[in-house]
């Protein structure tokens, strides 16, 4: 078998964009970008296509399909099992058999009746698929992490802006009430002057071991070349497709630091009103990574030995997964996925009023609602491309510091490491030519 050769990410995206244009993808302008008169009316449904169906996609769709103004009409996935499972979910919801299934998502992008896409593949495909979708005239909801490298995040944000698309990163905690309230406390000054932010993450891993080769199925059953996409080639093993890609350097983002960091560090960015910047220093140590913003605020990225169990002593375990803590000169606030908010004093606790609804942090209904509303208004979403860019790149910078086990300094606007060629060497990575 001839393995596709490596190429740069820029070459890949240029080639893929050219192929899409030849296929007629990039020439289509959907109705909602034609101006106010072309925007879907309040009574028109937004037609949604799905790229990549699995457990996470099922969860997101569970919070999206009930919205009355959206209709999912197609599911694309390289694995026949996932295609059929996705179709079954959609057809059951609408009580018909209308949902189309496709192997190659580029065929889905050619459909002129699709306004937006939900991208829920593995990490390796998020940026490339989102970029192709935007160039095809689609608005994009992409699961996180949205880019497997710093360059991914840069190119994705640049493309969304240039194509004037609506983009929502799947960092849904920006739309969950208890996290919103905790951030409001930080912004209000009721914590005093903000001093230290705490973001919980798994302990990073760095693994690129290969599973044993298995007989490769037919492309119609499981298109292995398309599953790999821009990721480095390796022999087929079904376990990768079933989830064993996680933790693999070739397939995962930032040594797994972004699994939680894309949420928790993002919330710290928001609390520090730092969506247009990021920490400038990253100092790894045995229990985490200590970071510093230009305004002097500290960010502690805490490695949790048991992230799904006992999260003490860093955090209050009962508050749930993905906890964050914001500390000011006059007090602190902590919250997590169980929806409860704990403050450092009775006076601050009184700020948590009864009308602060308690919703699990995993809920995506409000986040997808925000995306659909912004498709109509053309406004920026809660987790738009600019928000994603800085918080994701900060996560990647922290991961690179951990990989090299040394302090790194980054220019938050140029998004390059200062005086460190090795670290800058990990801003991008070569990709396969997969579409040959």
Q: Cis (ω within 30 of 0) for the bond into 187?
A: no
Q: What pLDDT shows up at residue 199?
A: 98
Q: How far from 374 is each of 67, 114, 165, 194, 208, CA to CA, in Å?
A: 14, 16, 10, 31, 39
- The three-class DSSP label of residue 285 is strand
CB proximity list for 81: less than 8 A, separation 6 or greater: none
28-32, 116-120, 284-288, 398-402: which has the minimum mean pLDDT? 28-32
Task: Say if residues 339 and 359 touch (Cβ distance below 8 Å).
Answer: yes
Closest CA to 198 of 102, 336, 105, 81: 336
Report how far residue 78's alpha carbon sits from residue 75's, in angstroms, rounded to the nearest whole number: 10
Mean pLDDT computed over 343-364: 86
For the CA atoms of 370, 127, 103, 363, what is the dihedral angle to 10 degrees? -30
Per the listing, tokens 């996560």 go with 395
Q: What pLDDT shows up at residue 42?
A: 57
Report how far residue 170's alpha carbon sits from residue 376's, in angstroms, rounded to the nearest whole number: 19
Closest CA to 267 of 150, 361, 340, 173: 173
Number of other CB atoms surrounding residue 176 within 10 Å = 25
- Residue 95 class from Cβ within 10 Å (0-12 exposed, 13-18 middle, 19+ buried)? exposed
Mean pLDDT score of the chain = 91
Report how far residue 157's alpha carbon sits from residue 168's, in angstroms, rounded to the nearest whole number: 11
Q: What pLDDT shows up at residue 39?
A: 55
300-329 per-position pLDDT tens digit: 999 999 999 999 999 999 999 999 999 999
174-206+251-361+385-425 folds as Dihydrodipicolinate Reductase; domain 2 (3.30.360)
Report how far residue 23's alpha carbon sits from residue 111's, in angstroms, rounded to the nearest whole number: 11
- The three-class DSSP label of residue 347 is helix
- Please list the alpha-helical segments (H only) found in 310-383: 346-349, 365-377
Answer yes or no: is pLDDT of 43 > 80: no
Report how far residue 150's alpha carbon sits from residue 429's, in angstroms, rounded to the nearest whole number: 10
Longest dimension (CA), the chain: 68
Per the listing, tokens 């990163």 go with 169
What are the backbone dihedrals phi and psi of residue 172, each rounded to the nearest 5 degrees, phi first? -70, -10
- The three-class DSSP label of residue 108 is helix
231-290 per-position pLDDT tens digit: 999 999 999 999 999 999 999 999 999 999 999 999 999 999 999 999 999 999 999 999
pLDDT band at 391 (very low <50, low <70, confident <90, very high): very high
pTM, to two decimals? 0.90
Kindly list the domain boundaries of the chain, sorted by start residue: 46-172, 174-206+251-361+385-425
CB proximity list for 228: less than 8 A, separation 6 or greater: 124, 234, 432, 434
Closest CA to 282 of 184, 377, 396, 127: 396
pLDDT band at 220 (very low <50, low <70, confident <90, very high): very high
What the block records as the tokens of 393 is 């790149």
Report how far residue 233's alpha carbon sits from residue 225's, in angstroms, rounded to the nearest whole number: 8
Superfamily of domain 46-172: NAD(P)-binding Rossmann-like Domain (3.40.50.720)
């Amino acid at each position: 078998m001839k393995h596709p050769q490596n190429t740069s990410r820029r070459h890949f995206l240029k080639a893929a964009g050219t192929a899409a244009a030849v296929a007629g993808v990039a020439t289509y302008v959907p109705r909602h970008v034609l101006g106010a008169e072309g925007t879907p009316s309040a009574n028109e449904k937004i037609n949604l296509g799905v790229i990549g169906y699995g457990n996470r996609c099922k969860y997101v769709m569970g919070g999206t399909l009930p919205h009355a103004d959206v209709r999912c009409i197609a599911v694309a996935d390289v694995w026949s099992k996932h295609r059929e499972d996705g179709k079954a979910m959609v057809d059951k919801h609408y009580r018909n058999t209308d949902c189309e299934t496709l192997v190659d998502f580029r065929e889905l992008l050619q459909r002129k009746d699709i306004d937006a896409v939900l991208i829920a593949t593995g990490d390796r495909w998020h940026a490339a698929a989102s970029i192709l979708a935007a160039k095809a005239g689609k608005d994009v909801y992409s699961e996180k992490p949205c880019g497997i490298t710093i360059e991914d995040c840069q190119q994705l944000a640049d493309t969304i802006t240039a194509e004037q698309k609506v983009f929502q990163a799947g960092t849904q905690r920006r739309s969950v009430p208890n996290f919103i309230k905790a951030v409001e406390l930080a912004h209000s000054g009721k914590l005093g002057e903000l001093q230290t932010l705490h973001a919980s993450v798994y302990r990073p891993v760095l693994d690129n071991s290969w599973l044993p080769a298995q007989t490769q199925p037919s492309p119609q059953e499981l298109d292995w070349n398309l599953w790999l996409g821009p990721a480095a080639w390796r022999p087929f093993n079904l376990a990768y497709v079933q989830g064993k890609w996680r933790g693999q350097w070739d397939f995962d983002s930032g040594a797994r630091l972004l699994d939680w960091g894309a949420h928790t560090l993002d919330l710290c960015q928001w609390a520090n009103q730092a969506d247009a910047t990021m920490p400038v220093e990253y100092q790894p140590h045995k229990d985490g990574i200590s970071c510093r913003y230009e305004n002097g605020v500290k960010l502690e990225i805490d490695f949790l030995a048991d992230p799904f169990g006992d999260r003490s002593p860093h955090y209050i375990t009962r508050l749930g997964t993905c906890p964050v803590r914001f500390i000011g000169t006059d007090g602190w606030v902590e919250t997590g996925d169980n929806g409860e908010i704990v403050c450092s004093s009775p006076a601050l606790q009184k700020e948590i009023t009864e009308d602060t609804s308690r919703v699990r942090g995993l809920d995506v209904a409000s986040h997808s609602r925000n995306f659909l509303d912004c498709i109509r208004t053309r406004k920026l979403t809660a987790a738009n491309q600019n928000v994603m860019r800085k918080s994701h790149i900060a996560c990647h910078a922290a991961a690179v510091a951990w990989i090299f086990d040394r302090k790194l300094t980054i220019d938050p606007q140029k998004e390059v490491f200062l005086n460190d060629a090795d670290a800058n060497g990990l801003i991008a990575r070569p990709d396969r030519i997969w579409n040959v």
